[in-house]
Each structure stands twice: as C-alpha cells, then as structure tokens.
Amino acid sequence: MDVDGGSSSMGEEEKRKMMVVILVGAPGSGKSTFCDRVMRVSTRPWVRVCQDTISNGKSGTKTQCLTSAARALKDEKSVFIDRCNLDREQRADFVKLGSPQIDVHAVVFDLPAKLCISRSVKRVGHEGNLQGGKAAAVVNRMLQKKELPKLSEGFSRIAFCQNESDVQAAISAYSALGPLDTLPSGCFGQKSSDAKIQLGIMKFLKKVDAPMNAESKGNSLQNNVTTEITKENYSRCKGPEDIARTASKEEKEVEDLALSYADGCSSSDNIPTLAFPSISTADFQFDLEKAADIIVEKVSEFVTKLGNARLVLVDLSSGSKILSLVRAKAKQKNIDSDKFLTFVGDITRLYSKGGLCCNVIANAANWRLKAGGGGVNAAIFSAAGPALEIATKERAGSLTPGKAVVVPLPSTSPLFSREGVTHVIHVLGPNMNPQRPNFLNNDYIKGCKVLREAYSSLFEGFAFIVRSQEALCKDRTVKLGSVLSESTVDFEISCMNQVSNTDQKFKREGVYESERNKKSKGCQEELGSNIIGATSGEDNAKNEKNNGGVSKAWGSWAQALYHVAMHPEMHKNDVMEISDDIVVLNDLYPKAKRHLLVVARFEGLDRLADASKDHLELLRAMHAVGLKWAEKCLIEDKTLVFRLGYHSAPSMRQLHLHVISQDFDSKHLKNKKHWNSFNTPFFLDSVDVIEEIDKCGRATLKDDDRLLSMELRCHRCRSAHPNLPRLKSHIGNCRAPFPPLLLQNSRLVLGLNEDGTNQ
C-alpha cells in the first residue's frame, strides 16, 4: 500500500487540480477562523464562500453560494464553503461541484458542544448575528441533527478535528499547500466513538454479508452504512454510550470491523504507529536490494509481535526505488498491509501534510547523535527544535552501528505539538560510503549483520513503547500520545547495554574512579564522604562475570564515569582534555603518584568485553592520548615509569584506560585487591589488547577472582610480602629491574636518565 504524503509526481493535469473544501461544524466551532488563518499565509489562491455574507455583506441563499463557488473554480481558484453543512443533504449540491479536475474535501469541526455554545454566546459582531443568548439554543438544536460526512458522499478526503490540536494540524496542512500541491485521499482523524455511532446506525440497515477478507469487510461496511442512512434513522441514535449498549453479542465481530473500517476510515489516531526511513541507503549507500530484503525480513519478524501497532516505511520521493522494492517483497511474503505500509512524504510532516498520525518516528542518526549533516537526521533535529537535542543528550552521548536509543520527545517540541510525535528513536546503520570515515569497504557480510541489528534494535524500541502504553492505559481508546507524552520511561536494548538513569544526584562535579570495597573500612569512609566516584575496577568481578558481552547491571555509584564521558561540559573544571571520542581526567583516588584515566565517549562501550575490531581506531586513539599524557608527566618528573592498560572486569561503567605510574606511592592503595588489580594478569596492557583485537576480534579477559586474592608480590623483583604496609615499604626501596615481559613490546613508558638512556 503506497500513500502520497505531499506534492505528488503525477501528471501535470492532475497537479493543477482545484479544491472544494466543505467545512462542517456547528456555529462557534471555528470554521471562519480556519479560513482566515489559511488564506493569510497560503500561496494557493483561495476564495471563501460564506452564506452569512454572500449578499453584499449580508446573509444570502445556498444558491448564491453555489454560483459564487462555481465562478471561483472557473477562475482556477480553490474554494472554502463556510457554512454549517451538518447533514448530508446540505452538503450534496456542493459535493457535485467536484470533477476529475476538482477534488472535494471535508474538514469536520467536531468539537465539544459546550465549547461551541460558549464561543457563540460570548462573541460580538458576528457576521450572521448569531451571538448572545439565542446562540445557545440554535447551536444545541443544530447539533441534534448532526450527520458526519462519509467518503461515499463523493469526498476524496475527510479530516476530522475533535480538539484544538487537530484544528491546528488541519490549518497547517492547508496553509502549506502551494498552487500545484495535493493532499492524499482518505479519511483521517476519526475516533473510535464515531465508529461506534456508525455501528448504532447499522442496526437500522440490512444485515452485512459475511466478507471473505479484511479489504472486502471494509468495503462491505462502507457500502451498507453509506447507502441507506436517513436523517430519521440517524435521529434515533442518542449518543455513543447509548449505541454501544444496544450492540448485541452476535454483533461483536461487526463492531470490531466497524472500529477499523467504518466508511473506509481506520481509527489511525488510536493505533501506535512507527514511521521509519530506510536505514543506510542514502548517505551510507547501502545496496537497495539487500536493504529491502532485510527490511521485509525484520518487518515480517516483528509485525506479529506488535499487536494492534503498525509500521510505516517513509520516503520523500514518490519515485523511490526502495519503496517499490519493499512493497513488492512485502506482497510476496503476504505481510498484512494494515500492519505495514509504505508512505511518500516528509517524515517530519506526516500528520500536518499527509494526515498520517505517527506517535513514534525513527531517525537515521549519526554516531554523535547530533544535528547536522543532511537527509533525515538534519530534518528531524531541525523540525523537533532544541528540545530533541537536549532530551537526546540526557539519554546518550553517542551510538554504535546496529544500535538504537529511544528518546521521549518533550511537549515543548514542535514535532510533539504539531505532529503528535511522542518519541524519537535514533538508530545507526552500517556505512558503505567510501567518502565517509570507517566505511566497511563493501563488506556486505558484516554490513547485512549490522543492518539487521539496527532494524531489530529499532523495532524492539518501538515494541517497548507499545508495551509501556498498554501497561499504563487500560482504556484502549486513549491515545498513545496522551499517555506517554511526558514519559521518561527508560528503554534498554540488550545489545546496547544501556542502563536506566540514576536518581542519585552528585554532590560534586568532580566524579572520578575511586575504590569500592565494602569490606574495607577506609573505603567505607571515602564512600561516606558524599562523593560518588568511580572505582579502580576490581570489586564487582566477584558478582558480575564478564562472559564476553553479557549485559551487566551497573549500580548507581558505578555510573560516574559514564556521566562524565557523556556530559564533559558539566565537568569542565575537572576534565583535562575533551575530544569527540575521549575525555581525560585524574583519578580522584589515585593508586600511585600519577594516575590518569582516558575514557571513551561511545555509547554502549561499557567495558573491554564490548570492544571489537570496530573499535580498533578508538583504542589506538586512547593509547596515543595516554602516551601523550604519560610523556607530559615524565617531563615534570623523569624518575616516573608508566604502564597503560585495562582492568579485565571493571567496576565502573564506560571503557577507560589507566595511565598509572609504577611507584604505587598513594594513601588510596589500601588492600590486596587494589594491588593485584594492577599487578596480575587481571590488568591487560593496552598494546597487547590492541594487538589481540586486531588479530582475533576480541581481547582475552583474565577475570578470575583468584587473581585478585593472590599473595602480594613486588612488581619489580617478584618477592612475596605478608601485608600491604610491608610491601609498600619494600617497593619504596626496591631498585630491581622490571621483569623482562614488561620491558618488551613497549608495555612500560620509561623516563630518561641524565645521560639520555632509558631507566
């Protein structure tokens, strides 16, 4: 199913169609205001035909309105019919103005009666003099005979406005139309209550024959409902509640169909909908055939898991090849067209310009999760305004290929207020563009794997939103946007290892890596000082095994480095260096004279177990920065010796490289675990990590608990000592050379003696 969401690529003759827009609504519903606001800004030529002023500024007749409208259409101008038009008979003659060159639309102002009456009573100087006390009785009487329009009357498009937000969306849609623009056909914005009213009307009609499929069901309902309704029958229906009570159990199936197909109009406002672009096929130049196969594969996998929700693939061009490919492949797989469809239009204007209500949209993001660049990413950030960028920063600082992050959209965003979007899901696919860094060099085995992961992450994120809505809302007619509009529910994609935000606030901006040993009295004192720090990286190894890439539940205290990495601007007084990829800072509780941390700024890269060949460039950059800072320290004190490495099982979230001097002269070095975490195979040298990942794809982690409980041995002469004070006393005087293994492969960074030789 393909729907045109904006300017079409149809033939020139169709492009130049005029429009007759019949406004339907009680006095006080806002019809004249609607016309005024659209005509003030629209570039399309419009004529307003109002019966209250048709006769030289005074009230006239319906015939005069028809004549005026016909004259405007002849002059190639579009027309607003500004009358109440509350029943089918009143609309019929205006609908007849339509032709193959003239589209007939209806905009229905179905606002609450109290609001219309209140406006009518309060207004002064009304064109038709309907104001004051008499207005209430007139409005009430007219609403008793209200008959909502249907497509079968001859309309190509009907838009229902049931609140001010809907009215504003309609104003935006028609204001944006240029002389050659069109709007998609169909029925938009009708709520479930309207479908129930039509169900009640159906009781007065002949029984609907049992249809063979969903499409024929919709057509059957439409034909039966719209061909035999009379005003007399309609007047018997007192309201949605009364009608709902009249439906018998035998009509349950008919009710379900009515909710989805009455008048060919699905209740789209109530259906959780994800609109997503094709990932990596534009800027990242992924092969379209392969991408289409993966889209259909993943849609087929997820569509049955989403219940009533639906997926919409969006592209700006009506001649889009990816849409054509996906449509054909989806048809071959018999994917339900009500659950998955394609749509031509601007993903940031789906409701206002296309009438498609999507509460969630996907962004084909860049890894920095920032505005800029081009395509969908730039368009979404621009349309959403600063609110999206701020909300995104609160969720994540970066994204790795194949991963996604869900961002609740604040109500201050124009995308929320204008389009009804409650969530944006950022997703990053594989890069096949040789003009961009880190491209996959036509490796489609890896590229397809990453793209599958990207769509899985995206659809899992949407499924999480849908499940949250179902859990929070028992009333199935409540819109998703009203339930989750201000939600800050955290979503965790298992492959991303993203954790929920901590509620604990930091007492200081300086949050660094500190020891975390509940059995240590000294450490308990430090933890009691209200400083949320990061750990040297050994204590959680006992309870949390690495297991390659298994998700780890980080405690609130273990989030400190993550927050510094994602928001270094909040810690400018303490961070020593900031770049797009890393931050550098001193350890708050150093285990030696000089102890620095080089922290990665990549979302989802929590520890060394998460690192793969994709991260080699980052690991090399971290090593180079560590060397630079070690050399700076050696200029200040040439007696120092440095070692650069990672803990196999860190206690702190966010991959970080230790740059630590080998004197271990520090009051914060307090127990056996502190020592052994830096002086056993638990500590992996940076050069070895880079070499192994380059060859094998992963680093071999030494996270055996026994390593941290080994006897205390000097890191130079390897002599054993009964306790840490004795060991500290020894290493202060030990002048033995370092073991040969450490002296190989540049594992140590040495200062120079006075004669210029290495120590």
CATH code of the domain covering residue 638: 3.30.428.10
Per-residue model confidence as pLDDT tens digits over 382-414: 999 999 999 998 888 888 899 999 999 988 889
Give the pLDDT of residue 556: 63
In a domain, 375, yes or no: yes
Cβ distance 158 to 150 under 8 Å? yes
pLDDT class of 266 with cuts at 50, 70, 90: very low
> Tokens representing 634?
């050696």
Higher pLDDT, 207 or 401: 401
From the list 325, 314, 218, the residue with the least C-alpha distance to 265 is: 218
Domain C-terminal end among 174, 190, 206:
190
- Residue 48, beta-bridge partner list: 80
**Residue 619 and residue 481 share a domain:** no
Assign residue 160 the CATH number of its domain. Answer: 3.40.50.300
CB atoms within 10 A of CB 527: 18
Residue 300, pLDDT above cutoff 70:
yes
Looking at residues 163-170, what average pLDDT do you find?
90
The residues annotated with a catalytic role in the active site are 656
pLDDT class of 640 with cuts at 50, 70, 90: very high
> Rounded to the nearest 5°, which phi and psi values hold at 418?
-90, -40
Looking at residues 659-675, what average pLDDT do you find?
94
- Name which of 620-629, 654-663, 695-704 the model is least confident about: 695-704
Torsion of CA 424, 430, 433, 434, to 10 degrees: 140
Number of domains in the chain: 3
> Tokens representing 695?
């060859």
In a domain, 625, yes or no: yes
Higher pLDDT, 482 or 472: 472
Residue 428, pLDDT above cutoff 50:
yes
What mean pLDDT is reported for the chain?
76
Give the pLDDT of residue 134: 61
- Residue 746, beta-bridge partner list: none
- Residue 81, beta-bridge partner list: 22, 49
**Residue 536 and residue 491 share a domain:** no
Give the pLDDT of residue 734: 93
> Strand ranges (DSSP E) for 27-133?
46-50, 78-82, 102-109
In a domain, 677, yes or no: yes
Looking at residues 527-533, what average pLDDT do you find?
28
In a domain, 441, yes or no: yes
Q: Which residue has the tokens 């992963």?
A: 698
3-state SS track over 581-604: CEEEEECCCCCCCCEEEEEECCCC
The C-alpha atoms of residue 517 and residue 532 are separated, in whole angstroms, by: 14
Per-residue model confidence as pLDDT tens digits over 337-355: 888 988 888 999 988 877 7
Taking every pair of Cα atoms in the chain, the longest distance, rounded to a whole number of angstroms, is: 109
From the list 719, 711, 717, the residue with the least C-alpha distance to 738 is: 717
**Residue 565 and residue 466 share a domain:** no
Cβ distance 87 to 153 under 8 Å? no
**Residue 425 and residue 380 share a domain:** yes
554, burial (CB in 10 Å: exposed 0-12, middle 13-18, buried 19+): buried
Residue 320, pLDDT above cutoff 70:
yes
**Residue 449 and residue 525 share a domain:** no
Per-residue model confidence as pLDDT tens digits over 540-555: 333 343 434 444 556 6
In a domain, 9, yes or no: yes
The C-alpha atoms of residue 492 and residue 313 are separated, in whole angstroms, by: 24
> Tokens representing 334?
């018999």
Higher pLDDT, 505 or 170: 170
**Residue 182 and residue 278 share a domain:** no
SS3 419: helix
Q: What percent of the chain has pLDDT over 70?
A: 72
Higher pLDDT, 685 or 58: 685
The C-alpha atoms of residue 81 and residue 278 are separated, in whole angstroms, by: 40
**Residue 529 and residue 484 share a domain:** no
Looking at residues 640-650, what average pLDDT do you find?
95
**Residue 471 and residue 532 share a domain:** no
Cα–Cα separations (whole angstroms), residue 679 to 115, 676, 713? 76, 5, 8
pTM (2 decimals)? 0.38
In a domain, 236, yes or no: no
Domain range holding 339?
271-496
Share of the chain residues as helix, strand and coil, in percent rounded to the nearest 5 = 40, 15, 45
Residue 677, pLDDT above cutoff 60:
yes
In a domain, 140, yes or no: yes
Give the pLDDT of residue 270: 61
Residue 94, pLDDT above cutoff 50:
yes
How many CA within 13 A on the CB side of residue 160? 26
**Residue 49 and residue 10 share a domain:** yes
**Residue 40 and residue 160 share a domain:** yes
In a domain, 78, yes or no: yes
Give the pLDDT of residue 299: 94
Domain C-terminal end among 460, 480, 496:
496
> Tokens representing 391?
């909300």
* Helix segments in 341-479, DSSP class H: 375-384, 386-395, 414-419, 444-472
> Tokens representing 269?
């406002």
The C-alpha atoms of residue 73 and residue 665 are separated, in whole angstroms, by: 90
Sign of torsion over alpha carbons 559, 562, 566, 568: positive
**Residue 462 and residue 527 share a domain:** no
**Residue 105 and residue 144 share a domain:** yes
Cβ distance 421 to 360 under 8 Å? yes
Looking at residues 488-511, what average pLDDT do you find?
34
The C-alpha atoms of residue 144 and residue 682 are separated, in whole angstroms, by: 80
From the list 382, 449, 459, 366, the residue with the least C-alpha distance to 415 is: 382
Higher pLDDT, 83 or 507: 83
Sign of torsion over alpha carbons 596, 602, 608, 614: negative
From the list 611, 709, 612, 622, the residue with the least C-alpha distance to 658 is: 622
Domain C-terminal end among 190, 220, 241:
190
